[in-house]
Amino acid sequence: MKKVIVTDYGFPNVDIERKVIESAGFAFETIQPICKTEDDIIRTCGHADALLVQWAPVTRRVLEALPNVRCIVRYGVGVNNFDLDAAKDLGVVAANVSDYCLEEVSNHALAMILSLCRRIPQDHHQIVQGGWGINPFRPLHALTDLTLGLVSFGRIARNLARKAASLGFSLSAHDPYVNDSVFAEYKTARVTFDELLERADVISLHCPLVPATTHLMNRETFSRMKPGAILVNTSRGPVVHEEALVEALKSGRLGGAGLDVFEEEPLPAASLLRTFPNVILTSHAASVSERAVEMLQRKAAEAARDFLLGRDPASRLV
Q: What residues are labeled active site?
A: 236, 265, 284
Q: Beta partners for 203?
A: 149, 231
Q: Beta partners for 82?
A: 58
SS3 305: helix
Phi, psi of 280 (to 5 degrees): -105, 130
Radius of gyration of the chain (CA): 21
3-state SS record for 144-192:
HHCEEEEECCCHHHHHHHHHHHHCCCEEEEECCCCCHHHHHHCCCEECC
Cα maximum dimension of the chain: 69
Q: CA 318: distance to chain centroid?
A: 20
| CA 256 – CA 237 distance, rounded (Å) | 16
Contacts of 139 (CB under 8 A, 6+ apart): 228
Contacts of 273 (CB under 8 A, 6+ apart): 242, 245, 246, 257, 259, 262, 267, 279, 281
Cβ burial, residue 191 (10 Å; 0-12/13-18/19+): buried
| CA 159 – CA 177 distance, rounded (Å) | 17
- Asked if residue 176 has a cis previous peptide bond (ω within 30° of 0), the answer is no
